[in-house]
Amino acid sequence: MAVTVVVEPAGRVCWDEPVRIAVRGLAPEQPVALRASLRDEKGALFRAHARYRADARGQLDLQRAPALGGSFSGLEPMGLLWALQPDKPFWRLVKRDVQTPFALELEVLDGHEPAGPDGGRVLARAVHERHFMAAGVRRVPVREGRVRATLFLPPEPGPYPGIVDMFGVGGGLLEYRASLLAGKGFAVMALAYYNYDDLPKGMDAMHMEYFEEALNFLRSHPEVKGPGIGLLGHSKGGELGLAVTSFLKGVTAAVIINGSVAAVGGTIYYKDESVPSVSLLRDKVKITKDGIMDVVEGLQSPLVEEKSFIPVERADTSFLFLVGQDDHNWKSEFYANEASKRLQAHGKEKPQIILYPEAGHYIEPPYFPLCRAGMHLLVGANILFGGEPRAHAVAQVDAWKQLQTFFHKHFSGKN
């Protein structure tokens, strides 16, 4: 019987969905290695491998069989995805064109020789496509006034709860989180705010009027259920999300993933008010034993420079803070706690804070591999982002569930 790799479900699978990977047709107790590889849109190669032993019937099911070593060990049915690592150091896996899938190549190799490209004879091979838009999800580019964005709508006509989605430093327009979330019954607008199209090239000045225009556009869209809308922001997008909820009205629920409660790297403006950036403490930046910058102590506290504290006490928003406790980009846990204290001191609703031990800065949709260190465009160097691969993978699966539950609860009464 020929050896075959089986991936179930066999139909269209989105990136955030788990699959069952199995191998059939092996000899009883046969030792094998599984190797996964994926090329991103720039041609960078990501790889993972693990050693296994077939059962007494010559079958191998990754939902039942523990990995015996390799890129990970133990029972990890999705390990071949979350453990992917780039051949090129400091390279982060990012999906830029959500209209095409990533193709994951799976290979079964004879024996316990997986490591190198030449290790072990290939017994079977399969290609598994992972999509970023569920069947029927609609992608609508937005150029309205100054707003530069992409709106993703579920397949059936709305209205749906509307969510504005913002990523962090790097600018441009990343759509993959919005496109996946639209498959869960939300109208999600991925919003660019600098370094894209005709938007400002830098982020030294962030004007809330731009975000106000974006909120108004989404709120007035015929397929968006008003009056309140949601906001999802990671990193700099989380910082700006806190500013949006502080200065502007109409955000019912906001999820802040590893965000800052201080203005960082630029001044936030709204009408005649401004929140200046906290000072950089260059002498507090460390270099790890691997020669990577660790900047976690490199920002002055907004408790010292109080003018840089975003005035979250003005917000009439329900907040969920998702925090990686090993975030080395900045002090996400401290920022979430200080935001919570300030809100409660002013009689506002206590935010929900979920802490993820050993999770780093880039908490992405499920199964994205950990980016532990990489280029930070504001710093201009490779920095430590933190995280341990397995704990970070567990955090991403949970965070994705938590944010959907939170938004559903606030917009439809569904728990």
Nearest to 360 by CA among 397, 320, 328: 328
Per DSSP, 257 falls in state: E
Sequence-ordered list of residues with C-beta below 8 angstroms from that of 285, at least 6 positions apart, any chain: 293, 294, 295, 297, 298
Catalytic annotation, pick one of 37, 71, 179, 235? 235
Has 279 been annotated as catalytic?
no
Q: Is residue 95 within 8 Å of 14, Cβ to Cβ?
A: no
Q: Is residue 55 within 8 Å of 32, Cβ to Cβ?
A: no
Catalytic annotation, pick one of 327, 328, 376, 410? 327
Sequence-ordered list of residues with C-beta below 8 angstroms from that of 289, at least 6 positions apart, any chain: none
Query: For the sheet containing 85-86, what is the strand order?
Result: 85-86, 45-53, 31-39, 102-110, 122-130
Tokens 């060990």, residue located: 73
Q: Within 10 A of 34 (CB to CB), how many other CB atoms are there?
A: 25
In degrees and rounded to multiples of 5, residue 275 shows phi and psi of -120, 105
Has 327 been annotated as catalytic?
yes
Whole-angstrom distance, CA of residue 72 vs CA of residue 59: 20
Give CA separation, 290 vs 11, 49, 294, in Å.
43, 24, 11
Nearest to 163 by CA among 412, 394, 395: 412
Has 235 been annotated as catalytic?
yes
Tokens of 222: 């015929």
Catalytic annotation, pick one of 221, 234, 328, 361? 361
Q: Which sequence positions are flagged as catalytic? A: 235, 327, 361
